[in-house]
Amino acid sequence: MLVMLMAGVAPSLPTPQGKPKVLIFLATGCPCVFSHRETFGSMLKKYGSKVDFSIVFIDKNDDKEEMVGMIESLGWDIKYIIDEDQKLLNQYHPKVSTDCVLLTPAGKVVYKGAVDDSPLNYGQIKEFYLKNAIEDFFEGRPIRVRLGEGIGCIINYKK
Amino acid sequence: MKNIALSATLLFIAFLFACTAPEPENTPVHDPMDYEKVLGAPEAVVETEDFPENTISGPLAYAPDVPKLNTGDVVHVRIDVQHKLIEIKEGVKFWAWPFGDDVPGPVLRVKVGQRVIFKMANRSMETIEFSPPMPHSIDFHAALVSPSDKYRSVPPGQTITFEWVANYPGVFMYHCGTTSILQHMVYGMVGMTIVEPKDGFPGEVDREIALIQNEYYLKEKEDGTYMVDFDAARKKQPMFVAFNGKPAQYVQNPIKVKAGERIRLYLLNVGPNDQSSFHIVGTLFDKVWWDGNPVNEMRGMQTVLLGASSGAIVEFTLPEPGTYPFVDHEFADVEAGAVGLFIAE
Ligand SMILES: [Cu+2]
């Protein structure tokens, strides 16, 4: 099921009470996310009821059909947001598309960066950054790695 | 017990054969591949530097042209990556990620023993308004080096330098190896390397031509421009199949040759997904060098079957004046553009 939310209203996104939130920043012209299709997809299945996941499409010129097409290609059950005025970009400053943020229910960023490091290792995942961060959060532990370097498309921040 | 008896019988038969088999008349005295190979190379360097005006330099040319060899033991080669709107057919434009200025990238020609000092800048930053800049890499099938070092992804705005030595003669593919590799290849990140034997290819020819076959997976957008259709690529349903980047280009603009001249064709199927059954109507391939290595010679062939990333050199003559179609004899591919014409005058 795809639900589109109004853009650029991050702090008051209709998040179910008390749930942490994951935003993944994507552009339809950037295929790098396909490197994380399985890892992120399995997180959606495993934590979908406990974590509020959303895609943030960062380029408002992206075609809506392409956004829906991309989500279908990824095979993810996830809602999406269009970041019309780059409000979410300016709030969270992801470096590349495919970067994610993990937010506490109070909206504090506890992890930022790549889903995992598979693009650096021919698909082999040595660091499950986002999954580890989610686990650490639920276990009440300090987050192991708080910033994971991502391989993705450079985001065009408008001045 | 039975097994032991059987083994003993087989051993006896083998012994008889060994004793009675005639000596081969032409015992090979020289293995042409028996020379020292150079393995590995110094670690690659990724750095930021100014881009030169041209995106390519070195013994390079865009197919069907075949570049000349550089002399010397060391060859400097540069192929930069850019994101560029290219037109592959009238009215069909899409933002590709070419090596150099076109799809496929330029043909590189070196010879066995030459050390290639290779540079590649990732210039995808230059068109950030139109196409998201991203990491790219290059993987030379002709090289024996560590992929995790030399073929590493280069961030936008940076330049990689690495070396490799040409060890084996042949026609080889190069391509981007950044994940998803399928995506990077369907965006046009493919090309050909020709490696000559140390003393050149055997025999004289009158003309050399390069043909690279690739598939395009595109869909038309509402505004009439095109974009890559990754789902179609995953399902192996190409919109076009092309020789040298443009479907059916040599039907309207045939390649002109002379009847009776000996032609050497450097062939490569860069895929990324499908095979090619290359055939020329009206002639046979006098010589076929599988993967372009003269050691792998076949004679009098009608069709050369090339899997994705396979190459070959074929030599032939067109016997008399006329029009000679060349095709991928998988005819669905002809319908998609894998067809051209030689005009023999
Ligand atoms: Cu690439």
pLDDT at A3: 45
> What are the residues of chain A with a beta carbon less than 8 Å away from any beta carbon of chain B?
27, 29-32, 34-35, 59, 63, 66, 69, 73, 96-97, 118-123, 151-156
> Would the pLDDT of B63 be above 70?
yes
- The answer to whether residues B191 and B212 belong to one domain is no
CATH of the domain at A101: 3.40.30.10
Instruction: State the residue range of the domain holding B49.
Output: 45-196
- Phi–psi pair at A11, nearest 5 degrees: -60, -25
The answer to whether B214 and B228 are in contact (CB under 8 A) is no
CATH of the domain at B116: 2.60.40.420
Domain annotation covers residue A25: yes
pLDDT at A1: 38
Q: Which helix (H) or strand (E) holds B263?
A: strand B262-271
Domain annotation covers residue B77: yes
DSSP-derived pairing of the beta strands B84-89 and B92-96: antiparallel
Domain's final residue, options B177, B196, B215:
B196
Sort out which chain A residues have CB atoms less than 8 A from B178's CB and list them: 119, 151
Question: Around Cβ A77, how many Cβ atoms within 10 Å?
Answer: 13
The answer to whether the Cβ–Cβ distance between A154 and B180 falls below 8 Å is: no
Domain annotation covers residue A155: no
Work out the minimum CA distance from B134 to partner chain A, whole angstroms: 4
For residue B12, how far is its CA from the centre of ligand 1 (angstroms)?
A: 60
Q: What is the mean pLDDT of residues B66-88?
A: 97
- The answer to whether residues B76 and B177 belong to one domain is yes
Report the number of distinct structural domains present in chain A: 1
> Would the pLDDT of B19 be above 60?
no
Which residue among A69, A122, A152 sits closest to B134, beta carbon to beta carbon?
Answer: A152
- The answer to whether residues B283 and B172 belong to one domain is no
pLDDT at A10: 40
For residue B104, how far is its CA from the centre of ligand 1 (angstroms)?
A: 13
Work out the minimum CA distance from B48 to partner chain A, whole angstroms: 16
Domain annotation covers residue B117: yes
Interface A-B, measured as beta-carbon pairs within 8 A, has a size of 57
Region of B254 please: left (phi>0), alpha (psi -120 to 50) or beta: beta
For residue B230, how far is its CA from the centre of ligand 1 (angstroms)?
A: 15
The answer to whether the Cβ–Cβ distance between B156 and A152 falls below 8 Å is: no
Q: Which of A41, A30, A3, A15 is nearest to A130 (CA)?
A: A41
For residue B317, how far is its CA from the centre of ligand 1 (angstroms)?
A: 38
Domain annotation covers residue A1: no
Work out the minimum CA distance from B47 to partner chain A, whole angstroms: 17
Residue B222: partners with Cβ closer than 8 Å, 6 or more residues away: A63
- The answer to whether residues B229 and B327 belong to one domain is yes
The answer to whether B86 and B94 are in contact (CB under 8 A) is yes
The answer to whether the Cβ–Cβ distance between B179 and A123 falls below 8 Å is: yes
Distances (CA, A) of B28 to B18, B23, B25, B32, B243: 19, 12, 9, 10, 39
Domain annotation covers residue B31: no
Domain annotation covers residue B28: no
Domain's final residue, options B196, B221, B254:
B196
pLDDT at A42: 96
The answer to whether B158 and B182 are in contact (CB under 8 A) is no
Q: Whole-angstrom Cα distance, residue B189 to residue B101?
A: 11
Sort out which chain A residues have CB atoms less than 8 A from B131's CB and list them: 29
Q: Which residue of B has its CA nearest to A71?
A: B231
| Total count of residues recorded for chain B | 345
The answer to whether the Cβ–Cβ distance between A69 and B231 falls below 8 Å is: yes
Token pair 């899997």 is found at: B307
- The answer to whether residues B290 and B181 belong to one domain is no
Which of B134, B137, B231 should be substituted to probe chain A, the one whose Cβ sees the most A Cβ atoms within 10 Å?
A: B134
Which residue among A27, A34, A151 sits closest to B153, beta carbon to beta carbon?
Answer: A151
Domain's final residue, options B196, B230, B259:
B196
- The answer to whether residues B216 and B283 belong to one domain is yes
DSSP-derived pairing of the beta strands B262-271 and B311-317: antiparallel
Decide: helix, strand or coil at residue A65. helix
Q: What crossing angle do the helices spanning A37-47 and A129-139 adopt, rounded to 10°?
A: 20
For residue B284, how far is its CA from the centre of ligand 1 (angstroms)?
A: 37
Instruction: For Cα atoms A80, A83, A88, give the angle at the middle one, nearest 5 degrees.
Output: 105
Domain annotation covers residue A13: no
Region of B299 please: left (phi>0), alpha (psi -120 to 50) or beta: beta
For B140-198, write each residue's pLDDT tens digit. Answer: 999 999 999 999 999 999 999 999 999 999 999 999 999 889 999 999 999 999 999 99
Q: What is the mean pLDDT of residues B12-34?
A: 62
Q: Which of B228, B236, B271, B189 is nearest to B95 (CA)?
A: B228
Q: Whole-angstrom Cα distance, residue B107 to residue B267?
A: 11
Domain annotation covers residue B30: no
Which residue among B95, B134, B230 sits closest to A32, beta carbon to beta carbon?
Answer: B134
Q: What is the mean pLDDT of residues B254-263?
A: 98
Domain annotation covers residue A107: yes
- The answer to whether residues B259 and B156 belong to one domain is no
Average pLDDT, chain B: 93
- The answer to whether residues B192 and B50 belong to one domain is yes
- The answer to whether residues B264 and B307 belong to one domain is yes
Share of chain B above pLDDT 70, in %: 92
Tens digit of each residue's pLDDT, chain A (159 residues):
344 444 433 434 445 568 999 999 999 889 899 999 999 999 999 999 999 999 999 987 778 888 998 999 899 999 999 998 899 999 999 999 999 999 999 999 999 999 999 988 888 999 999 999 999 999 999 999 999 888 899 998 886
Q: What is the mean pLDDT of residues B116-141?
A: 96
Decide: helix, strand or coil at residue A66. helix
Judge residue B148's burial from the number of C-beta atoms within 10 Å of its C-beta, 0-12 exposed, 13-18 middle, 19 or more buried.
exposed
The answer to whether A144 and A136 are in contact (CB under 8 A) is yes
Q: Which amino acid is at A32?
A: C
Which residue among B129, B134, B179 sits closest to A30, beta carbon to beta carbon?
Answer: B134
Decide: helix, strand or coil at residue B234. helix
Judge residue B307's burial from the number of C-beta atoms within 10 Å of its C-beta, 0-12 exposed, 13-18 middle, 19 or more buried.
exposed
Sort out which chain B residues have CB atoms less than 8 A from A119's CB and list them: 135, 153, 178-179
The answer to whether the Cβ–Cβ distance between A73 and B231 falls below 8 Å is: yes
Which residue among A63, A73, A119 sits closest to B153, beta carbon to beta carbon?
Answer: A119
Q: Which of B8-12, B178-182, B193-197, B328-332 has the lowest mean pLDDT?
A: B8-12
Q: Which of B206, B229, B207, B205 is nearest to B219 (CA)?
A: B229
pLDDT at B275: 97
- Phi–psi pair at B81, nearest 5 degrees: -100, 135
Work out the minimum CA distance from B53 to partner chain A, whole angstroms: 23
Instruction: State the residue range of the domain holding A129.
Output: 18-148
The answer to whether the Cβ–Cβ distance between B222 and A63 falls below 8 Å is: yes
- The answer to whether residues B309 and B248 belong to one domain is yes
pLDDT at B209: 98
Which of B94, B136, B179 should be substituted to probe chain A, the one whose Cβ sees the most A Cβ atoms within 10 Å?
A: B179
Q: What is the CA radius of gyration of chain B?
A: 23
Q: How confident is the model at residue B22 (pLDDT cuts 50, 70, 90)?
A: low
pLDDT at B30: 83
The answer to whether B110 and B144 are in contact (CB under 8 A) is no
For A59-83, write each residue's pLDDT tens digit. Answer: 877 788 889 989 998 999 999 999 9
Domain annotation covers residue B11: no
The answer to whether A39 and A115 are in contact (CB under 8 A) is yes
pLDDT at B169: 98
Task: Give CB contacts under 8 A, 24+ apart, made by B203-207.
Answer: B203/B287, B203/B315, B204/B262, B205/B262, B205/B263, B205/B264, B205/B315, B206/B258, B206/B261, B206/B262, B206/B263, B207/B257, B207/B261, B207/B262, B207/B263, B207/B264
Domain annotation covers residue A156: no
Residue A154: partners with Cβ closer than 8 Å, 6 or more residues away: A95, A96, B125, B128, B132, B133, B134, B156
> What 8-state DSSP symbol labels residue B96?
E
Sort out which chain A residues have CB atoms less than 8 A from B147's CB and list them: 122
Q: Whole-angstrom Cα distance, residue B22 to residue B147?
A: 47
Question: Around Cβ B60, how many Cβ atoms within 10 Å?
Answer: 20
Share of chain B above pLDDT 90, in %: 87
Domain annotation covers residue A113: yes
Residue B193: partners with Cβ closer than 8 Å, 6 or more residues away: B107, B108, B109, B110, B140, B141, B142, B171, B172, B173, B174
Domain annotation covers residue B6: no
Domain annotation covers residue B39: no
Domain annotation covers residue A96: yes
Report the number of distinct structural domains present in chain B: 2
Which residue among A31, A152, A155 sits closest to B183, beta carbon to beta carbon?
Answer: A31
- Phi–psi pair at B328, nearest 5 degrees: -85, 110
Q: What is the mean pLDDT of residues B6-18?
A: 50
Which residue among A30, A34, A69 sits closest to B132, beta carbon to beta carbon?
Answer: A30
> What 8-state DSSP symbol labels residue A11?
G
The answer to whether the Cβ–Cβ distance between A119 and B178 falls below 8 Å is: yes
- The answer to whether residues B87 and B179 belong to one domain is yes
- The answer to whether residues B166 and B215 belong to one domain is no
